[in-house]
Amino acid sequence: DDVVLRAEHISVTYEGERPTHAVRDVGFELRRGELLGIAGESGCGKSTLAYAVARMLGPPARLIGGRVLYRDRTGAETDLLALEGDALRAFRWSRLSVVFQSAMNALNPVTTVGRQFDDIFRAHRPRMRRPERYERARALLDMVGIDPARVRAYPHELSGGMRQRVVIAMALALEPEIVIMDEPTTALDVVVQREILDEVQRLRDDLGFSVVFITHDLSLLLEISDRLAVMYAGSIVEYGPAERIAADPAHPYTQGLLRSFPDLAGERRALRGIPGSPPDLRDALPGCPFAARCDHAFEPCGTETPTLVPLAPGLAPGTSAACHLHAVAGLLPEGRQP
Ligand code: SF4
Ligand code: MG
C-alpha cells in the first residue's frame, strides 16, 4: 500500500501528582500525498498525539507506549520512536517537519528570514554553497507567495500571514515527505487563513508531501481533508474519508460537532453546542468517555469502553467509529441506515 507513516497504540501521560492520560492507545495511518485531518476540542490530545509522532514531547509529557513506523519509497520501515541523536534530527527536517500555530515563536526575531533558511541548510546540507543556499531561500519564499527580496526582512517587518508563510516555506526547505501542521492558521483572520490553506493544498499537489493537519475547526477540516480522525478525551472516536463523515457522521460526538456550526452550503441552522464537558483525563474512564454527554447512551456505555470498529463491510479500510451503537443491530444513531 501507499502508507508513509503508521502510528500504533500511542499513549502519552503528563506526569504529576495525578497523571493526565492525554492520549490513550491511538493509531492512525498517513498515506502518501494525502491530507489527514485530526479534529477535536482543545484538550482532546490531538496536539500531544502529533508531537509524540514527531518525537517532540518533553517533560512532563511521557510517551508510555506505541510505535511510529515510517516507510520510505523502497518499502523499508523505520521506527521513529527508536531514533536518537543525529538520526532523529536529520529525520525531523528531511523527512518530517512541523508547523506550529504561532509563527512568531517559530521565527527568530533578531535575524533575517534569509539567515534562518541559511541555518537550516548549513545544519542539514553542509555541502550546499552560500550562493546556492541564498537562491534556494529566495525560491522557497517565491513558492509560498512572498517576494524573494523579503529574504532580507526581519520577522517583525512581515504581517502575521507572511510570517506563517515563511514558517511553511522553512518546513518545506528540505523537501520532507510529511508535514505536521498544528493549528497553522488559527491566529490569522479568515481571508488570510483561506489564502494559506489554498497555498498548502497547491504545494501538496505540486510537491506530493503528506500533511497531518490538526485543528479544533471541524468545518475547515471537512473541506480540506482527504481523511479525518475525530478525537475525544484522548482517543479517536471516528475515522474515515472526510466526505463520508461530512455526509453521514457515525459517532454521536461527531454528530454533535457537526450540529454546532452552521451549514455553509444550506440554510443556517440554530447553533447548538454539545451540553456538558469532556471528562477529567486524570481519572480512569470506565465505559465510553462520551457517555455523560451522549443522547444515545444505553446499557453497555457506562462500563464497557468501545473500540474503533469498521462501520460496515466493504467500506474503505479505516472507516470506523468507537461507539457501542455500531455493534448492536437495530440501534444506529440518527441518519444512519442499518
Ligand atoms: Fe454514546 Fe454509548 Fe456510543 Fe458512547 S458508546 S457514543 S455513550 S452510544
Ligand atoms: Mg493544541
How confident is the model over 27-43, as a mean pLDDT? 95
Mean pLDDT on 314-331: 73
* Distance from C-alpha of 25 to C-alpha of 193, rounded to nearest angstrom: 32
What confidence tier does 251 reach under pLDDT thresholds 50, 70, 90? very high
pLDDT at 263: 55
Average model confidence (pLDDT) for the chain? 89
Q: What pLDDT does residue 264 have?
A: 53
For residue 334, pLDDT over 50 is answered with: no
Ligand nearest to the CA of 332: 1
Which residue type, as a one-letter code, is found at position 80? L
Q: pLDDT tens across 128-173, in order?
A: 999 999 999 999 999 999 999 999 999 999 999 999 999 999 999 9
Find out whether the beta carbon of 296 lies less than 6 Å from any atom of ligand 1.
yes
Query: Does pLDDT of 329 surpass 70?
Result: no
Residues with a beta carbon under 5 angstroms from ion ligand 2 = 47
Domain ranges of the chain: 1-33+40-95+227-338
- Cα of 222 to ligand 1 centre, how many Å? 22
Closest C-alpha to 190, from 217, 151, 229, 170: 217
pLDDT at 230 over 50: yes
As beta bridge partners, residue 29 has 6
276-283 mean pLDDT: 90
| Highest CATH level, class, for 1-33+40-95+227-338 | alpha beta
The three cell numbers locating residue 219: 468545518
Distance (Å) of CA 223 to CA 45, 204, 241, 275, 309: 22, 15, 11, 25, 25
Q: What is the pTM of this model?
A: 0.91
- On the question of pLDDT at 266 being above 90, the answer is no
Residue 260 has pLDDT above 80, yes or no: no
Neighbours of 265 (CB within 10 A): 5
323 within ligand 1 shell (Cβ under 6 A): yes
pLDDT, mean of residues 77-92 = 92
